[in-house]
A and B are shown apart, each in its own frame.
Chain A
């Protein structure tokens, strides 16, 4: 028996010396509940080392859709949120969870679709007309359906176009997933979808997808950082979180955001850049 136990122990001892640097007494960190696009696009990976250098603070990013990110913060599981859904943000602040919302960057949404463009959206800038065209052509369309910022905008656009989103046909696929999952699905079934430009530019499995519509002012996508209200969230690391929020909107942070490029293209504009 002793030997059998020994054998088992050897296997686990092997596991134990692999112990990662967990025990690192590194309390100088915050948990940032962030929308996926700023993370998947590589922006945070670009910003965080610069901030860490300046402040010594680690930012641990939990990337979720905006709806979910705000929920995580409501439950007290994050120290700061970075999201992009003005309506949901206003609700979050109205409930007393958030304070001091500041815009840190913006870019825009685009509609991507198969290059054959069955709903004939190319050459158009009017996003509401485009939604009508997709509806009328019953062209395959992938909807996030996950209460993210992008999903909320899509629902608002259907409504603004005077279309009842509860009456879509089977051509509209509600995939209930993140932006990347939606783009993978759209690429797989030659469908249209609404995406933020940052995720699109960094997405690598495009297959036949291409941008078919961009440039409508209704497609502006603003990213906000929101601090937590100490009255409801006394346990959060509010001081460290404020340092990061302050840095993001400071000249140094804004400069770092504007610097981030992929394949020669700017993914995010600093807050002060003029919007179209």
Chain B
């Protein structure tokens, strides 16, 4: 318990002091994870819903692929990202390696399957339940996509949080393509790895404590937003 109390104290002290290095690390962690998840949502929300609504030859294969990539090992993605982004790799000329952009790219790869698979599952359920009614009402399949996502907003929120949780807590990919450069690509998780390797366990614990607090806070905010708007959505947007 003493250790834990220490960690909490160590985590709080720099937060209260407003330590600029620490804030830069937390900011970068948030920025990288949120950007990656934003891109994954942009692509994954329509894709997941479309997989539920449209019928095309490779549909099953795509669904199986997305689901099997839920457990994509981060180090493998990181290594592949490194080989692609390296100067001697196919994307080397963009000079992305060891920049935050590289970290966003690999985390997008990591979170996209989560969004696609979870959104597809939820949209499929609603499509089976409301699909006929929506079509009778005269909507085209394309127009039905946003409605499906809306009806399935709770599981969609779960998908968002699952993706964000994976991104912000993940270290395997970003430490390889980011290089853990102080002030440039050092995030909360890579700092924890570094401080642990330096034997600075109290600081590593403190950062771990902050990281967990942060993910709890992010889920809290997401749920609060959804709950507050929930009743009004039902009034205005009920599709049936």
What is A's interface to B at a CB cutoff of 8 Å?
A: 1, 3-4, 7-8, 10-12, 14-16, 18-20, 22, 31, 36, 40, 45, 60-63, 75-77, 177-181, 183-184, 187, 202-206, 235
Contact = CB atoms under 8 A, between A and B. Distances in A.
Given A31-B98, A60-B181, A77-B98, A184 B27 contact: no
A45 B226 contact: no
B149 A1 contact: yes
Contact of B200 (A4, A76, A205): A205
B31 A20 contact: yes
A8 B41 contact: yes
Contact of A62 (B27, B179, B225, B236): B179
A20 B28 contact: yes
Contacts of A62: 98, 179-181
Interface string B198-240: 1111000000000000000000011001100100110011000
Contact of A204 (B97, B150, B199, B233): B199
A61 B181 contact: yes
B135 interface: no
Interface stretch (B6-14, B72-80, B84-92): B84-92
Contacts of B22: none
A15 B181 contact: no
Given A76-B88, A180-B199, A12 B38 contact: yes
B112 to A, nearest CB: 16
B22 to A, nearest CB: 13
Contacts of A204: 198-201
A45 B41 contact: no
Contact of A20 (B24, B89, B150, B199): B24
Contacts of B197: 36, 40, 177-181, 184
A212 B176 CA distance: 35
Contacts of A10: 225
Mostly, the B contact residues are helix
Contacts of A7: 225-226, 229
Interface residues of B, number: 44
Interface string B77-113: 0000000001111001000011010000000000000
The 5 closest A-B CB pairs, nearest first, are A180-B197, A15-B34, A205-B199, A76-B87, A62-B179
A10 B87 CA distance: 37
B139 interface: no
B153 A183 contact: no
Contacts of B150: 1, 4
A63 B98 CA distance: 12
Contacts of A205: 199-201
A189 to B, nearest CB: 15
A180 B35 contact: no
A61 B182 contact: yes
Contact of A15 (B31, B97, B160, B184): B31
Interface string B178-195: 011110100000000010
Contacts of A19: 31
Contacts of A3: 229, 232-233, 236-237
B69 interface: no
A8 B222 CA distance: 8
B198 A202 contact: yes
A203 B30 contact: no
A63 to B, nearest CB: 7
